[in-house]
Amino acid sequence: MRLSELLQFEDIVIQCHDNPDADALASGYALYFYLTEKGRFPRFIYRGKNPVTKSNLLIMLDRLKIPVTYEPDFEEEPELLVTVDCQYGQRNVTTTKAKNIAVIDHHQVTVELPPMSEVRSGVGSCSTVIWNMIRSEGMNVNWNKFLPTAIYYGLFTDTNRLSEVAHPLDRDMLDELDVNMSIIKEMSNSNISLRELMITGRAILENKYFPGGHYLIIRSEPCDPNILGVISDFSLEAEGVDICIAYYESAYEIKFSVRSCIKEVHANELAEFLSKGIGGGGGHVYKAGGTIRPELLGKPISEIFEERLEQYSNMFTIIHAKDVTLSTDDMKVYDKLPQILGTVRLADVFPIGTMVEIRTLEGDVNIKVTADTYVMIGLEGEIYPISEEKLRRSYSEIGGHYNRDFEYEPCIKDSINGEKKGLMEYSRAVMSLSKSRIFAKPLDTYVKIFTEWDDEKYYLGRPGDYIAIRQDDAHDIYVINGRLFDQLYSEVLS
């Protein structure tokens, strides 16, 4: 859906969920900004049993001039109702009748959506979704003095102080907003009430420790989701605790926070695993979290967490490529099929010696620019480093840019000064050479591979993916997506 589709209506009401949080208020404010800039006069409301009372939200409403009103008895039937940060028909939003319905959200879909809807479940906040929609209409939220700070705070609070940011769109938004950080600090410093301080203490005292896996599960009373981060951050400092899960249950959702202090467990991956099929999760390597929908559960969430943590801790084989030589006896030999891919010489983008961050849908790749450092751009926009010597052995340049449509187009940023450039404009199209051979076999279990160029961050291989070894380099061990393998390689028949 495009926001311009909403302009066919005159009588428009924006509604966020009951007991709105910062993201609901910010995303509604962003939509209000767009519609008023386009000459409409929308109303922005929330309903439910209680008005906003939390100190940080009252500061937000006042300092950022958010034009929302509390309308518990709203009885009008507008021409168009747009629900933001929720889905029409869910239990957390009081039903408002309207002639037409639209939905903009970032949570898992749990109801039938109307034709006019935009739900991006992998994005960290609804504020990000609407920011991207506004940007797609050729507008800039920085035109408004207060809105950038509001939508920053929406993402900030919905991702536990940005520790659970996973999607590149979230990071793009953070790069581009003109934020009043003094107001952010003022709201953040008013975020915890004395009651929530007591909740934190009680939760920590009621922890459940699993010495075999060195993990801790903590159940809290319902609270601001950021409190879960406080609980898990503090608990992770305890001796013998490598992983901490803190969570609370409410009538509408289960929020959880994940922390890891070991490189063998990525918090964002664990959050995704814990919530698979029942919600969504993501974040950073060491800090992550997510949301689970109670209506999708068949048993108590405490049992699900325990079962999945036990399963997760026993399901992986860990491989440090630079330290091992794997047997190829049970592997087949494959030629790389002629395939047009992209490559970029990083020194053509930023000066040698620059630390850069390459942003992709799969995550950020951090690397130092050297004279012979290149990156490959794969069929789905995935990025992986390659030396010039290996590039010349494996590919031939065919000229021109590498042109391909991706869900998210990779970009590159100077890690020091923040200068950002699109990676595709520096790309060159290359053709893979058939003489580039590998040993490979399909995986029947999960593996985590620390590659020879990065022993701090692993690449995950799932059953159905392929583990591969370059025939000319026994330590160049990596994972190939099973869905793409047949497009990239063909078996060498003896």
Report pTM. Answer: 0.66
The DSSP secondary structure of 176-201, one letter per residue, reads H----HHHHHHHHTT---HHHHHHHH
* Mean pLDDT value across residues 102-131: 90
* Mean pLDDT value across residues 299-313: 92
Could you give the CA distance from residue 375 to residue 388 in angstroms, rounded to a whole number? 9
pLDDT at 435: 65
Could you give the CA distance from residue 128 to residue 329 in angstroms, rounded to a whole number? 49
Where are the CATH 3.10.310.40 domain residues in the chain?
A: 194-314
Residue 131 has pLDDT above 80, yes or no: yes
Please check whether residue 6 is in contact with residue 68, taking contact to mean a CB–CB distance below 8 angstroms: no
* Mean pLDDT value across residues 178-200: 87
3-state helix, strand, coil in the chain (%, to 5): 30, 30, 40
Strands 116-119 and 208-210, by their bridges, are unpaired
pLDDT at 95: 94
Place 13 in a pLDDT band, splitting at 50, 70 and 90: very high
pLDDT at 347: 94
Reply yes or no on domain 194-314 having CATH 3.10.310.40: yes
pLDDT one-digit tens code per residue, 226-274: 788 889 888 988 889 999 999 999 888 899 999 998 888 888 889 889 9
Please check whether residue 156 is in contact with residue 170, taking contact to mean a CB–CB distance below 8 angstroms: no
Q: Where are the beta strands (DSSP E) in 251-382?
A: 254-260, 279-283, 287-292, 316-320, 332-336, 340-345, 355-360, 363-368, 373-377
> Containing H/E element for 118?
strand 116-119
What is the number of alpha carbons within 13 Å of residue 372 lying toward its C-beta?
6
Strands 243-249 and 215-220, by their bridges, are parallel
pLDDT at 176: 93
Where are the CATH 3.90.1640.10 domain residues in the chain?
A: 3-188
Closest CA to 365 of 264, 470, 454: 454
What is the distance between the terminal CA atoms of the chain, rounded to a whole angstrom?
A: 53
If you average pLDDT over every residue of the chain, what do you get?
90
pLDDT at 434: 65
* Mean pLDDT value across residues 442-463: 85
* Helical residues (DSSP H) of 340-459, grouped into ranges: 388-394
442 or 279, which is more confident: 442
CATH class entry, domain 3-188 = alpha beta
Place 128 in a pLDDT band, splitting at 50, 70 and 90: very high
Residue 452 has pLDDT above 90, yes or no: no
**The token pair that represents 302 in the structure block:** 């405490």
Closest CA to 128 of 160, 166, 92, 101: 166
Least confident of 130-144, 283-297, 479-493: 283-297
